[in-house]
């Protein structure tokens, strides 16, 4: 991994970007930075501000709150948007559990980017609705 | 090479076994070797070049840097705080070898010319006695099982070098070309001709980063028309409030674009390049901003598509690389994230991304960031591999707040490497505080250890610059931003009260 073409191919297979044309996907691949985290490294830190929005290209991560594992994330999943959208510090750690490659969009860029890509915003809303439904089912 | 072979026998560091081998004689290799020498760590430095300077022996193309040195800044030249205003000198402990860049500048600009920068680096090597085996090309790398664990063997044009730790300070300066069909009709930035040869030509530049805008700036007086094309929108450093984006010196083509002055800036992916008769090239564009596809016919295409790290066979050895620049992925201490024992210094140290808080990267890709990374790396190598642990000086009772305020006001490391390098005070067993020096912020926040008070300088998306005190305790990590100051002076009564409150919280 990962040539720009390979990244575009990977994005094309993800639900979040399913409605974008090939040139739009190339724009996404260009606007996002790729990052790599070895297993065990923290990607987002609970209580530490200024984090970013990540989409997983490869590898796995877990969501940890106060040392307790709450969820696992894999290829095509995204994280970091809640603290960015709310302008609050993250309430969880996200830790790589296998070598992790993500595409990253810095927090300050997210609003403009989501407004410019409403089809992605809709898909993100769908994913959030599913997470909310799962959380409600878990509670009931 | 004939000259080299004549003086070959008196070159330093012949092939053999060394605890550490450093590859490269640009700013990163020189700075690391200097710091290792000061710590007493035996090492060799090899370089394929025949003189010091690295990429500055060749670039930037239009011969003037993007990094300033201000000899008449309001602080004493050669002081630690002066390093905030001198981005180009390497850092030495001895006063005569500090802040030497200004000696070589002729006063026409606060940005040195390329030859001035090259002379500055050569003078640092000469005055500090930093030795390099020049004309020695690293050609391959392999692992070797030894009695005391695995070692690395670096094959070179002069023979094999065996080492416990290899540090690659090899830059990110190998031209990168896209794989677009017909790309052979373009030349890379590195092969751009003399500016006046573009007189009256229509030029399309692929890319919108600094190298693209540098070329566009250089061709403005000559070209008939210029188009800058890439899939994403142009970013300007004055908007990102960081080194991300086109620097102010190269913004002229952008202004010409917005004023309709013969420069087009287009958000599009390039589908293909094809002949258009009379030596011209038709460039087919697929707009990424939702607009219709577009063909542009030009006389010349220049691919300012950046550079990659010349990692040779390191990926085959298991070194993971990341991003368009294919920079090795690194731990917070600049060790390969996938192959322990392989480290990086210089501009390639940007592969340890750090926290990038609020989207602002560290300055590791530039001399004024990488020089501090190299010094921290030298200390890390000394203490983790050679048992050369420096004692942590004790902070006198009641002085912790003063020390934090002093670091916030004067530390060039914290200033240039925001949210990246931090000053650390750790709790001693008797409850006092120890000066842990400068360390990578990510490493300190994530490491287990005694209670610590950690200070970084940070910026946010609004461009405010302010200190942040982190408290690392068994209960977790908390951060306490200190109010920004319009004059960037962080030692006033308000800051003192806020820092004192933060420190009091860790005591509770």
The rounded distance, in Å, linking the Cα atoms of A71 and B314 is: 35
Annotate B126-164 with DSSP letters as a single string.
HHHT---BTT--EEEEEEEEETTEEEEEEEETTEEEEEE
> What would you report as the CA-atom Rg of chain A, rounded to the nearest whole angstrom?
15
**Greatest pairwise CA separation for chain B in angstroms:** 82
Query: For the segment B93-121, what is each residue's pLDDT rounded down to a tens digit?
Result: 999 999 999 999 999 999 999 999 999 99
The rounded distance, in Å, linking the Cα atoms of B25 and B134 is: 8
Q: What is the pLDDT of residue B77?
A: 87
The interface pTM score, or ipTM, of the predicted complex is 0.93
Query: For the segment B185-239, what is each residue's pLDDT rounded down to a tens digit?
Result: 999 999 999 999 999 999 999 999 999 999 999 999 999 999 999 988 899 999 8
Q: Do B182 and B276 touch, CB atoms closer than 8 A?
A: no
B379: nearest Cα among B370, B389, B369: B389
B424: nearest Cα among B381, B472, B458, B391: B472
| 3-state DSSP assignment of residue A42 | strand
Output phi, psi for A63, to 5 deg: -100, 125
Q: What is the mean pLDDT of residues A118-125?
A: 94
pLDDT over 90 percentage in chain B:
82
Residue B3 has pLDDT above 70, yes or no: no
Q: What is the pLDDT of residue A58?
A: 95
| Cα B416-B417-B420 angle, rounded to 5 deg | 165
Q: Do B359 and A106 touch (CB under 8 A)?
A: yes
Residue B146 has pLDDT above 80, yes or no: no
A88: nearest Cα among A44, A136, A118: A44
Nearest Cβ partner for A4 among B320, B324, B476: B324
Query: For the segment B402-429, what is each residue's pLDDT rounded down to a tens digit?
Result: 999 999 999 999 999 999 999 999 999 9
Q: How many CB pairs under 8 A join A and B?
A: 101
Q: What is the pLDDT of residue B388?
A: 79
Residue B352 has pLDDT above 70, yes or no: yes
Structure tokens at B261: 């002055």
Confidence of residue B508 (pLDDT cuts 50, 70, 90): low
B109: nearest Cα among B121, B101, B98: B101
Confidence of residue B8 (pLDDT cuts 50, 70, 90): low
Q: Which residues contact B234 (CB under 8 A, 6 or more apart)?
A: B208, B213, B228, B245, B246, B254, B265
Q: Looking at per-residue confidence, does B152 or B461 come out higher?
A: B152
Note the Cα B155 to chain centre separation in Å.
26
Query: For the segment A1-20, what is each residue's pLDDT rounded down to a tens digit?
Result: 567 788 899 999 999 999 99
Residue B16 has pLDDT above 50, yes or no: yes
Length of chain B: 508
Structure tokens at A68: 């307790």
Q: Would you call B231 an interface residue with chain A, using a CB distance cutoff of 8 Å?
A: yes
Q: What is the pLDDT of residue A3?
A: 76
**Optimal mutation site among A7, A9, A20, A23, interface B, most CBs of chain B within 10 A:** A23
Specify the DSSP class assigned to residue B113.
Answer: B
Q: What is the mean pLDDT of residues B147-174?
A: 95
Residue B6 has pLDDT above 60, yes or no: no
Q: What is the mean pLDDT of residues B60-73?
A: 90
Confidence of residue B507 (pLDDT cuts 50, 70, 90): low
Q: What is the mean pLDDT of residues B495-499?
A: 94
Q: Would you call B479 an interface residue with chain A, using a CB distance cutoff of 8 Å?
A: yes
Q: Looking at per-residue confidence, does B232 or B467 come out higher?
A: B467
Q: Would you call B187 an interface residue with chain A, using a CB distance cutoff of 8 Å?
A: no
Strand partners, B212: none
The rounded distance, in Å, linking the Cα atoms of A32 and B298 is: 30
Residue B477 has pLDDT above 80, yes or no: yes
The rounded distance, in Å, linking the Cα atoms of B390 and B204 is: 55
Q: Which residues contact B259 (CB under 8 A, 6 or more apart)?
A: none
Structure tokens at B406: 């002093």
Structure tokens at A75: 């290829």
The rounded distance, in Å, linking the Cα atoms of A76 and A71 is: 15
Task: Give the residue on A whose Cα is nearest the Cα of B479.
Answer: A48
> Tokens 């905030």 appear where?
B84
A89: chain B residues, CB-CB within 8 Å? 479
The rounded distance, in Å, linking the Cα atoms of B227 and B199 is: 15
Query: For the segment B307-322, what is each residue's pLDDT rounded down to a tens digit?
Result: 999 999 999 999 999 9
Shortest CA gap A130–chain B (Å): 28
Q: What is the mean pLDDT of residues B141-166?
A: 94
The Cβ-side half-sphere exposure at B15, using a 13 Å CA radius, reads 14
Q: What is the mean pLDDT of residues A108-120?
A: 92
Highest average pLDDT, of A122-136, B272-286, B377-391, comes from B272-286
Confidence of residue B488 (pLDDT cuts 50, 70, 90): confident
Structure tokens at B404: 């934090």
Residue B65 has pLDDT above 90, yes or no: yes
- Round the average pLDDT of chain B to a whole number and report it: 93
Whole-number Cα distances in Å, B141 to B165, B189, B301, B314, B377: 12, 30, 37, 7, 22
Helix axes B493-507, B400-410, angle to 10 degrees: 130
Structure tokens at B453: 């008070």
| 3-state DSSP assignment of residue A48 | coil
Residue B356 has pLDDT above 80, yes or no: yes
H or E stretch at A59? none
Q: Do B57 and B49 touch, CB atoms closer than 8 A?
A: yes
Q: What is the mean pLDDT of residues B66-89?
A: 92
Alpha helices in chain A (DSSP H): 4-12, 22-31, 81-86, 110-116, 118-139
Q: Do A59 and A76 touch, CB atoms closer than 8 A?
A: no
Task: Give the residue on A whose Cα is nearest the Cα of B338.
Answer: A38
Residue A140 has pLDDT above 70, yes or no: no
3-state secondary structure B13-57: CCCEEEEEEEECCCHHHHHHHHHHHHCCCCEEEECCCCCCCHHHH
Residue B2 has pLDDT above 50, yes or no: no
The rounded distance, in Å, linking the Cα atoms of A128 and B154 is: 51
Query: For the segment B359-385, what is each residue's pLDDT rounded down to a tens digit?
Result: 989 999 999 999 999 999 999 999 999
Q: Would you call B329 an interface residue with chain A, using a CB distance cutoff of 8 Å?
A: yes
Which of these ranges, B56-65, B83-92, B351-360, has the smallest mean pLDDT? B56-65
A3: chain B residues, CB-CB within 8 Å? 179
Q: In this structure, how many other beta carbons lie within 10 angstroms of the beta carbon of residue B149? A: 8
Q: Do A48 and B355 touch (CB under 8 A)?
A: yes
Confidence of residue B389 (pLDDT cuts 50, 70, 90): confident
Specify the DSSP class assigned to residue B204.
Answer: E
Confidence of residue B481 (pLDDT cuts 50, 70, 90): very high
Query: B452-459 and B465-473 as β-strands: parallel, antiparallel, unpaired?
Result: antiparallel
B35: nearest Cα among B171, B159, B169: B169
């Amino acid at each position: 991994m990962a040539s720009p073409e390979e990244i575009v191919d990977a994005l094309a297979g993800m639900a979040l970007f399913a409605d974008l044309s090939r040139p739009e996907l190339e724009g996404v691949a260009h606007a996002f930075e790729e990052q790599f985290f070895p297993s065990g490294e923290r990607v987002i830190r609970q209580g530490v501000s200024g984090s970013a929005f990540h989409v997983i290209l490869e590898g796995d991560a877990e969501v940890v709150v106060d040392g307790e594992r709450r969820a696992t994330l894999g290829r095509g999943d995204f994280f970091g948007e809640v603290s960015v959208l709310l302008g609050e510090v993250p309430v969880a750690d996200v830790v790589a559990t296998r070598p992790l490659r993500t595409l990253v969009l810095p927090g300050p860029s997210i609003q403009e980017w989501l407004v410019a890509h409403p089809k992605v915003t809709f898909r993100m809303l769908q994913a959030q609705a599913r997470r909310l439904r799962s959380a409600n089912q878990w509670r009931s | 090479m004939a000259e080299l072979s004549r003086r070959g026998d008196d070159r330093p560091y012949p092939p053999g076994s060394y605890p550490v081998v450093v590859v490269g004689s640009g700013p990163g290799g020189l700075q690391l070797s200097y710091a290792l020498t000061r710590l007493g760590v035996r090492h060799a430095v090899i370089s394929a070049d025949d003189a010091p300077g690295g990429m500055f022996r060749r670039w930037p193309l239009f011969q003037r840097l993007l990094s300033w040195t201000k000899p008449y800044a309001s602080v004493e030249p050669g002081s630690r705080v002066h390093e905030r205003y001198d981005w180009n000198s390497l850092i030495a402990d001895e006063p005569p070898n500090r802040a030497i860049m200004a000696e070589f500048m002729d006063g026409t600009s606060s940005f040195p010319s390329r030859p001035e920068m090259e002379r500055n680096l050569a003078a640092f090597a000469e005055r500090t006695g930093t030795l390099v085996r020049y004309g020695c090309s690293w050609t391959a790398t392999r692992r070797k099982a030894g009695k005391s664990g695995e070692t690395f063997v670096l094959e070179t044009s002069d023979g094999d070098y065996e080492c416990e730790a290899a540090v690659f300070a090899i830059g990110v300066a190998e031209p990168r070309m896209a794989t677009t069909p017909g790309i052979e009709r373009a030349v890379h930035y590195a092969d751009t001709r003399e500016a006046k040869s573009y007189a009256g030509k229509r030029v399309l530049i692929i890319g919108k980063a600094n190298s693209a805008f540098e070329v566009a700036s250089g061709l403005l007086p000559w070209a008939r028309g210029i188009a800058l094309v890439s899939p994403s929108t142009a970013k300007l450093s004055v908007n990102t409030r960081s080194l991300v984006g086109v620097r102010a010196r190269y913004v002229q083509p952008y202004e010409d674009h917005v004023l309709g002055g013969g420069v087009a800036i287009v958000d599009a992916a390039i589908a293909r390049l094809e002949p258009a008769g009379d030596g011209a090239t038709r460039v087919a564009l697929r707009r990424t901003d939702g607009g219709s596809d577009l063909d542009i016919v030009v006389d010349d295409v220049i691919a300012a598509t950046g550079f990659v790290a010349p990692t040779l066979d390191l990926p085959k050895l298991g070194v993971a690389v990341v991003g368009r620049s294919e920079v090795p992925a690194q731990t917070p201490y600049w060790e390969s994230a996938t192959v322990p024992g392989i480290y990086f210094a210089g501009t390639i140290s940007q592969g340890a991304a750090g926290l990038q808080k609020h989207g602002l990267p560290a300055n590791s890709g530039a001399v004024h960031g990488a020089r501090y990374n190299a010094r921290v790396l030298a200390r890390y190598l000394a203490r983790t591999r050679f048992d050369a642990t420096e004692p942590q000086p004790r902070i006198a009772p009641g002085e912790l707040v003063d020390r934090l305020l002093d670091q916030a006001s004067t530390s060039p490391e914290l200033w240039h490497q925001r949210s990246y390098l931090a000053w650390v005070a750790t709790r001693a067993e008797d409850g006092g505080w120890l000066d842990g020096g400068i360390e990578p912020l990510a490493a300190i926040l994530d490491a287990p250890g005694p209670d610590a008070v950690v200070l970084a300088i940070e910026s946010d998306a609004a461009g405010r610059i302010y200190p942040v005190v982190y408290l690392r305790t068994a209960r977790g990590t908390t951060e306490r931003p200190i109010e920004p100051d319009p004059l960037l002076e962080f030692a006033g009564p308000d800051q003192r009260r806020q820092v004192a409150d933060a420190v009091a919280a860790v005591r509770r």
